[in-house]
A and B are shown apart, each in its own frame.
Chain A
Amino acid sequence: MKKSNKDYRLREVKCATGFNWSNLKAELRAIWESNIKAWKLDFAYPVSFVRQLISPVVFMLPFLLYGLALIGGRYSENLAQLVGTGDVVAFIFTGYIMMGFIGTAVWAMGFSMRREQWFGTLEAIYVTPASRLGQILGMALHSTVHQGIGTIIQFIFIYVTFGLVLNIGGILPALGIFALMLFALYGFGIVISALSLILKEGWIVSDIFYSIMTILSPVAYPLIVLPTLAQQASAIFPTAPALIGMRSFLIEDYIPEVVGNVFLHLLVLGAVWILFGVFVFHLADRYVRKRGMLKKF
């Protein structure tokens, strides 16, 4: 052998590894950089970026205009009988906030791996020592902020065109509920991303979950109009309890259609969904590495 290998030391690496503070910091940085990367890619497609920002308004409009046409004004007697408040604009706006974030879980997180596959970068990401969950959480972070901006635009639109009466003092506790809900939603997003990694027609799975979740979330109607079975099923997704909780803080006369401890409910859901998500993702990760499916789509 012409080369001397006396200074070669096995089992030595220069990346952060193991259970320690610097490795945790490195993982957090990987999440942050995934988020930054997603923003940069967003800016590379300016038309689509702008469209995504206004899409909350575009897709909320049908619920509003249709609702107004149905009752010939903005006060619904029937809704007031069901949940105490008859202002459909406030009701729909507070509900519709959730739609974008369901999208975060199902599309942004659920498709983060698939998107890398389309770019051709998935294998390159897979050989890095950073956790793959970090990649998904980076997308969650990006999408949450993105949807947040969309929601603010939506709020301004509603405020300017309809005028909106919300309980200002309720905003902080409502945000607290919202933050709790995000954890559970992120867990759900991890499950979807695991499924989309395994299944060839992953977008169909995502679309089905998206539709089911939007039907089971009381976005434009209270839960009580759903069939009993659907009402019960809605309890496994965080959006229904979160919406009920948020509305109780944000809308003055609102009477929650389902009574229970929203905080506790969301805490349990968050823990369960995240644990389940990590577990399913671990299985999916092994499955695709066994089958050599990272490259295919």
Chain B
Amino acid sequence: MMESVYQQSALRSNLFVVWNELIKNMKFLMAYPIIFVFWAVFPIFWFIPFIFQGQAFVGGLQSASFGQITGTEEFIPFIVIGSVLNSYVNTLLYGMGESIRREALQGTLDYVLVAPTNKVYVLIGKALSESLSSTMFAASQLAISALLFGMNLTLGVMLPVFLIVILLILGLYGLSLVLAAFSLLYKQSHDVSETIGYVFYVFSPVRYPLESLPFWAQIFGKIIPLTYALIIVRSIMLLGASLSSLYFEVLALLAIDAVLIFAGFYMFNWMENKAKKSGAISHY
């Protein structure tokens, strides 16, 4: 009788772990409604200065030289898309690390780790819930921005955008796994995720076109998944490009995703073993 508990199909039991982790994290989020509202609305305030700056510098809402570099003279939608996509980086990278830190602080991390399941599925559950909430936040920010500044959010545009967002999330999953691996051993994992956040912010075209960076920095920017996501989404939403015409960027994003996810799985399993051996887990 006892054995049958564990003899469910591996896939089913793993999905069960993912599902429960997802539900648990969504409940955490719902327990703090103010935080929820904050992330859904407030990040808009962070890019408002860039809109005023644009107006002050060019005296209107269109800039010819901006158009020469980016293909669109309208800098507001450019900034909005940058902010919304960048918010995924914030929530996913910090969210995963925070989620693990929270378990460690509550003392539940040890129990999660001794449970007879592959921890990667727990992390996938965490990541799913983070991406679900991030998407809710992003959608809300985008909708408010569209109301304020007028942007094309038709289904034909949003479907390919959604696909790219999923690809972006996958790459960030991989990176989060690497971070999670770090956080098992290195206590200030927060430092690592924050530093990565800085690198993304500077080397990806979040607030300015990639071409504004010096040449070497552009090359560096091209190994960051966010860079491709931003280029593709802006091309679709602002220049009316089709997904097929952007095949190079899509393939590059896929390749980076694959590398990051593989590295993430590998590192996490490796670090988990190491952490168990050295007993570093509870020392927060």
Contacts and interface: CB of A to CB of B under 8 A. Distances in A.
A65 B192 CA distance: 25
Contacts of B198: 51, 55, 58
Given A51-B195, A71-B58, A204-B34, A66 B50 contact: yes
Contact of B57 (A65, A76, A215): A76
Contacts of B211: 69
Interface in A84-127: 88
Contacts of B63: 70-71
B57 to A, nearest CB: 5
A201 B39 CA distance: 13
A211 B45 contact: yes
A48 interface: yes
A65 B208 contact: yes
A62 B213 contact: no
Interface in B192-216: 192, 194-195, 198, 201-202, 206-209, 211-213
Interface in A209-256: 211-212, 214-215, 219-222, 225-226
A267 interface: no
A280 interface: no
Interface in A12-60: 45, 47-48, 51, 55, 58-59
Interface string A60-75: 0111011111111100
B46 A211 contact: yes
A70 B207 contact: no
Interface residues of B, number: 43
Nearest to A224: B56
Interface of B is mostly: helix
Interface string B223-252: 000000000000000000000000000000
A69 B72 CA distance: 12
Contacts, number: 122
B49 A225 contact: no
B213 to A, nearest CB: 7
B194 A51 contact: yes
A61 B38 CA distance: 26
A258 to B, nearest CB: 15
B65 interface: yes
Contacts of A51: 191, 194-195, 198
Interface string B28-70: 0000101100100010011011101111111100011110111
Contacts of B66: 69-70, 72
B208 A78 contact: no
A79 B42 contact: no
20 contacts: A45-B191, A51-B194, A61-B202, A62-B207, A65-B207, A65-B208, A65-B212, A67-B53, A69-B70, A69-B212, A70-B63, A70-B75, A76-B57, A76-B58, A207-B38, A211-B48, A215-B52, A222-B56, A225-B52, A226-B52
Interface of B: 32, 34-35, 38, 42, 45-46, 48-50, 52-59, 63-66, 68-70, 75, 79, 188, 190-192, 194-195, 198, 201-202, 206-209, 211-213
Given A48-B191, A70-B57, A201-B38, 15 more contacts: A45-B191, A51-B195, A55-B198, A58-B201, A67-B57, A69-B66, A69-B69, A70-B53, A76-B56, A76-B58, A78-B58, A208-B45, A221-B49, A221-B52, A225-B55
